[in-house]
Amino acid sequence: MRVLVTGGAGFIGSHIADLLTRSGHEPVLLDALVATAHSSPEPPGYTGAHRFVHGDVTDAGLLRELLSGVDAVCHQAAVVGHGVDPSDAPRYARDNDYGTAVLLAAMHETGVRRLVLASSMVVYGEGRYACPAHGIVAPSPRRRSDVDAGRYDPRCPECATMLEPRLVGEDTPPRPRSTYAATKLAQEHLAAAWARQTEGTVWALRYHNVYGPRMPANTPYAGVASLFRSALHRGEAPTVLEDGRQRRDFVHVHDVARANVLALRADLEPGTLTPVNICSGEPHTVGELASELARACSGPRPRIVGGARPADVRHVVADPARAVELLGFTATTSFADGIAGFAQANLRDPLASSPA
């Protein structure tokens, strides 16, 4: 299979490309090599085994050229993370949504009908919650007075009782809370419309908290695992917001790459988009992540500082059942093994702290 991997020299895309090659497929890598994700303006050495093209996903002519003879697209190119502030919004919208629209148009023009889309758990916003009196409910926004008083769990909109988290399945209504989250959900909507119009197929892989080798470091666009490890390698204690008990699912990049390859091989009903959680199925708290990394790095214990950023959510704990059923995917890297390796893995120090 010949596969165009957008963002193919990036954190997740490069691992997908490596696995595709080891599995006997032919990846073609397209990457803009933006400064916040790459430590060099040149493609990293591990892309030498693949065809690499330095270019932008908004370049329609280049996309049409690269899509010639391609069987499927694995779309990883995106600006990720919390970012700096709302001034990032135009870049998120350009790269994530306009870039996806240009890609989908080029796929239509060249007859490529199979897409694997890198989506994200951020589309869920606050996860899935239950009230003892009212069952499954959409949580109320967290009150500033509660956060200031150290009460971090969201409340029931009916009775104001603190809610209990439940597993987040793919049928959970999306409630994006950040610019990044809004653009990832828009990507899904664009891809779903393309699939209906072209009889194409889309697997929307909703990644949970991905970590592992080649992760960008020392940038506001990095994930929490990278931020913690960067602090530890500077000899500083990781700074944990809230009380450290917020729950997430941390999934290793090697497992995420394998999920993409499985999705590229898996069939879907033409004209459909199917979202799938890509997770470890082994939830942990953010405090546990910080503590485990501190031990593995022989660094200082985490600092629990309270507070919360405006777009932060309390708990997002994934249900892995659909990935098992439809893709045959189960994560194989344990939390302990993954964090031990991540503590010493090569990360990328970006060229700049803002988009190029």
Q: What amino acid occupies position 207?
A: Y
Residue 102 CB contacts under 8 Å (≥ 6 apart), including other chains = 57, 58, 59, 60, 63
Please report the DSSP string for 244-295 in residue order. S--EE-EEEHHHHHHHHHHHHH----TTEEEEEEE--S--EEHHHHHHHHHH
Torsion of CA 90, 212, 289, 116, to 10 degrees: 50
CA distances from 202 to 119, 168, 216, 226 (A): 11, 21, 27, 30
Q: What angle do CA 270, 271, 275 make, to 5 degrees?
A: 95
Rounded CA Rg of the chain: 20
Active-site residue identified among 92, 129, 180, 207: 180
**SS3 helix, strand, coil % of the chain, rounded to 5?**
35, 20, 45
Q: How many CB atoms lie within 10 A of CB 179?
A: 22
**Total residues found in the chain within this entry:** 356
Exposure on the CB side of residue 329, measured as CA atoms within 13 A: 29
Q: Say how far apart CA 161 and CA 164 lie, in whole Å.
A: 9
User: For residues 55 and 62, is the Cβ–Cβ distance under 8 A?
Assistant: yes
Do residues 317 and 129 make contact, with C-beta atoms less than 8 angstroms apart?
no
Burial bucket for residue 147 (CB in 10 Å: 0-12, 13-18, 19+)? middle
Is 129 a catalytic site residue? no
User: What whole-number distance in Å separates Cα of residue 119 and Cα of residue 295?
Assistant: 32
**Mind telling me the catalytic residues?**
180
